[in-house]
Each structure stands twice: as structure tokens, then as C-alpha cells.
């Protein structure tokens, strides 16, 4: 049986060594992935947005602001940025039609855009961690936590798959 009460040691921000993203598990069981901020520019009076080297065409809205609805030129994915710092993505590139939600912030004097996207809900039974995606796909792993290291394990063989390091442990290690 799955319990929505999470192991308190799971809650927090996690890092994968060598990757720029951060991974967060919240007390309500939400799982977020934050991408590093990327440069943001506009062309054609705001009809085109160039964000991190990718091009987007405006569908709704106007002016040199990311607020509004955009279509990513390479994938066809729809992005809707709202003034309350939320965004929604409608995936078109893989045919799934999945919808993802997240939050955004402008950084570096409004020249970079940072996003943090909800990727799943987490369920646990104490030995297994299940990620439930917006399309209801269930990805289950064994897990262990020890001194700020979260290890995901193959649920059948219990072989180690990957290790996350808590941001808190990284700060403690850097402080000496």
C-alpha cells in the first residue's frame, strides 16, 4: 500500500554531480526539476523570443516580454507564461499531449529566464519510491537515504542506479 506521508529525509533539494539541474521533493509529495537560468532575447518587436538558443514564435500577447503564449519552433511545444510567475507547457513534440506546470523568474537584470517544472507526484511505501507523471505513468525505484545521499535502486535487483546529494550536505561540505 502506498502512503502519501513521505520520509522526511526525502524532502529537500537534491543534486546529481555533474548536472546543472536541481531536483526538489516537497512535503506534499511534489517532484520538481529546475533548469539553470538561460539568456533571454526578443526579435521582431517581441514576435520572436530566443531563450537559451531556442527560438519561439508568439501566439498570444505582445511586446518584448515573455509573458504570453509561445510555440517552440523546433518542437511545436506550447509555452504559456503568466504574470503570476507560473507557466504551463503543452508537449507536442512526442505526441503525448502531456501538460507540465512550473514557476519562472527573471534574473540578471531581466536578461535571463529561470524555470522550475513539476515533473511528478511521489508516493512511497518506505522501501520504494514511485514517481507518478502527469500522464499517470508510474516509475518505481527502491531507495535508501544516508547522511544526505539519496540512492535510487533497481526495484528488482536492488542494484544502485544513481545517487543524489542533498543541497544541504553540499553546503555543509563547502563550509568545511
Work out how many domains the chain is built from and give that number: 2
Helix (H), strand (E) at residue 170: helix 167-175
Are 135 and 66 contained in the same domain? Answer: no
* Adjacent-strand bridge partners of 166: 14
pLDDT at 99: 81
Are 15 and 53 contained in the same domain? Answer: no
Mean pLDDT for 150-176 is 86
Does residue 2 form part of some domain? no
Are 82 and 109 contained in the same domain? Answer: yes
Are 72 and 108 contained in the same domain? Answer: yes
Q: What percent of the chain has pLDDT over 70?
A: 91
Mean pLDDT for 73-78 is 94
Are 76 and 129 contained in the same domain? Answer: no
Are 48 and 14 contained in the same domain? Answer: no
Domain of 151, in residue numbers: 8-33+121-175
Are 114 and 49 contained in the same domain? Answer: yes
Are 85 and 98 contained in the same domain? Answer: yes
Are 21 and 63 contained in the same domain? Answer: no
Dist CA 15 CA 68 (whole Å):
31
- Report the CATH number at residue 14: 2.40.128
pLDDT tens digit string along 80-126?
999 999 999 988 766 667 788 899 999 999 999 999 999 999 999 88
Are 53 and 109 contained in the same domain? Answer: yes
Whether the CB-CB separation of 154 and 145 falls below 8 Å is answered with no
Does residue 1 form part of some domain? no
Amino acid at each position: 500500500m502506498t502512503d502519501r506521508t513521505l520520509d522526511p529525509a526525502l524532502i529537500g533539494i537534491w543534486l546529481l554531480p555533474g548536472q546543472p539541474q536541481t531536483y526538489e521533493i516537497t512535503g506534499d509529495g511534489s517532484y520538481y526539476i529546475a533548469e539553470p537560468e538561460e539568456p533571454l532575447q526578443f526579435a521582431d518587436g517581441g514576435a520572436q523570443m530566443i531563450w537559451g538558443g531556442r527560438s519561439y514564435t508568439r501566439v498570444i500577447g505582445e511586446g518584448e516580454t515573455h509573458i504570453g503564449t509561445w510555440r517552440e519552433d523546433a518542437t511545436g511545444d506550447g509555452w504559456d507564461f503568466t504574470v503570476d510567475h507560473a507557466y504551463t507547457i503543452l508537449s507536442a513534440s512526442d505526441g503525448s499531449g502531456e501538460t507540465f506546470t512550473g514557476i519562472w523568474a527573471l534574473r540578471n537584470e531581466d536578461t535571463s529566464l529561470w524555470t522550475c517544472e513539476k515533473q511528478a507526484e511521489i508516493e512511497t511505501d518506505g522501501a520504494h519510491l514511485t514517481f507518478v507523471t502527469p500522464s499517470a505513468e508510474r516509475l518505481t525505484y527502491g531507495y535508501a537515504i544516508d547522511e544526505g545521499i539519496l540512492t535510487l535502486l533497481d526495484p528488482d535487483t536492488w542494484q544502485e542506479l544513481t545517487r543524489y546529494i542533498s543541497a544541504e550536505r553540499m553546503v555543509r561540505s563547502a563550509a568545511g
